[in-house]
Amino acid sequence: MGRYIVRRILWGVLLLIVVAALMFVFFRILPTGDPAKLRAGRTASAKLLSEIRHDLGLDKPLLTQFWEFMKELFLHFKLGYSYYSSAPVTELIKNRLPATISLVAGGALIWLLSGVTVGIISAIRRRTVLDRASMGTALVLVSAPEYWLGLIALYFFAADIGKVHVFPGAGTYVGLSSDPGKWFTSLILPWLVVAASNAAIYARLMRGSLIDVMGEDYIRTARAKGLRERRVIVRHGVRSAINPIVTIFGLDIGVLLGSAILVETVFNIPGIGRLNYDAITHADFPIVQGTVLAAALFIVCANIVVDIAYAYLDPRVRYS
């Protein structure tokens, strides 16, 4: 197991190196605009431009630039400076991380609990009105785009512009450490929007998985022992049916940490997605590069966590 984890981590690092290299290629070789020009602004003189080129190391051969980029990144965890604000990219990402983690963690908790619960109830009350209503709602939520749901939520429930003034609206986010109460209320709507489509997917997945499992021979054995039906469902059924959920849960969190762009933008939450969105609109490539790498890092980590979790959930899986 230990060796397996080490190997997975090494593969993860390798994958990150490849992603970093691709990022370098995309931003230097593809015609995305001259970083020096972008940095200097519209009315820069030729002298200023060449100074900037020299400062950024853009006058060096491409391979040297690549080597220095990779060295900075993997040995010093440095991603350069924002063209726009001149702030170090790693600092910017670090500052934005708490907001994104707050959004994703709260949303994930909601979608996991609600999705799994609805899925279980639908599975054991199969073909009842309750099941059909839940699955119908799930279908609507899966189909609804996040930014649309976000806008609808604001339109109806935001304290400033909503029809009913219930929850704080866009741009009200404050850090957990500065005011836990406001942190919580400001995130309620974003959490619900992030959770909605995922909860629907999880409910459908959980329902299907549990229906399959309840047809297994070992469920019949559990009943034959004379166990209570509740115990048969939870200890024997759900215990098995939850495995695929755990797998995608880890991956979904990893993906969302790097890509909550829409919800963070709609609700104006200063997270990594919002940072990325702003950087794209300003052609602030070091930040785009940084956020993409951060997203890759989250996904790689999530994969490793899921693999390890799987070995603990299913004793038949023993990596060697």
Partner 1 sequence: MSSRTLAGTSEPLLRVEDLHVEFHTEDGVVHAVDGITYQVLPGGTLGIVGESGSGKTVSSLTTMGLTRPQGAHISGRILFEGRDLVTLSDAEMRKIRGNDIAMVFQDPLSSLHPFYKVGAQLIEAVRAHNDVSKSTARERAVDLLGLVGIPDPARRIDDYPHEFSGGMRQRAMIAMALANEPKLLIADEPTTALDVTVQAQILALMERLQRELGMAIVIITHDLGVVAELADDIAVMYAGRIVETTSAERLFESPQHPYTWGLLKSIPSLEGSRERELVPIPGSPPSLISRPRGCHFHPRCAYVQPEHKVVDPHLEQVPGEPDHHVACLLSPEERRGLWHALQEGRTPHEAIETVGLQEGGA
Query: Can you give the binding site for partner 1, defined by CB under 8 A?
Result: 216-218, 220-229, 235-236, 239-240, 313-316
Is residue 192 within 8 A of residue 110, CB to CB? The reply is: yes
Q: Count the residues in the chain.
A: 320
- b vs e for 217-249, b when ≥16 Cβ sit within 10 Å of the residue's Cβ? eebeebeeeeeeeeebbeebbbebbbeebbbeb
CA distance 223 to 48: 80
Which residue, 163 or 230, has its beta carbon nearer to partner 1?
230
Which residue, 92 or 116, has its beta carbon nearer to partner 1?
116
Query: Least distance in Å: CB of 203 to partner 1?
Result: 22
Which residue, 181 or 315, has its beta carbon nearer to partner 1?
315
Which residue, 54 or 225, has its beta carbon nearer to partner 1?
225
| Phi, psi (deg, nearest 5) at residue 167 | -110, 150
Query: Least distance in Å: CB of 206 to partner 1?
Result: 17
State whether the Cα torsion 283-288-289-290 is positive or negative. Answer: positive
Query: Least distance in Å: CB of 232 to partner 1?
Result: 9
Query: Least distance in Å: CB of 246 to partner 1?
Result: 12
Task: Report helix, strand or coil for 72.
Answer: helix
- Residue whose entry in the numeric block shows the structure tokens 């969190």: 253
Query: Least distance in Å: CB of 219 to partner 1?
Result: 9
Q: Which token pair is 313?
A: 């959930």
Query: Least distance in Å: CB of 7 to partner 1?
Result: 24
Task: Report helix, strand or coil for 92.
Answer: helix
- Residue whose entry in the numeric block shows the structure tokens 């899986």: 317
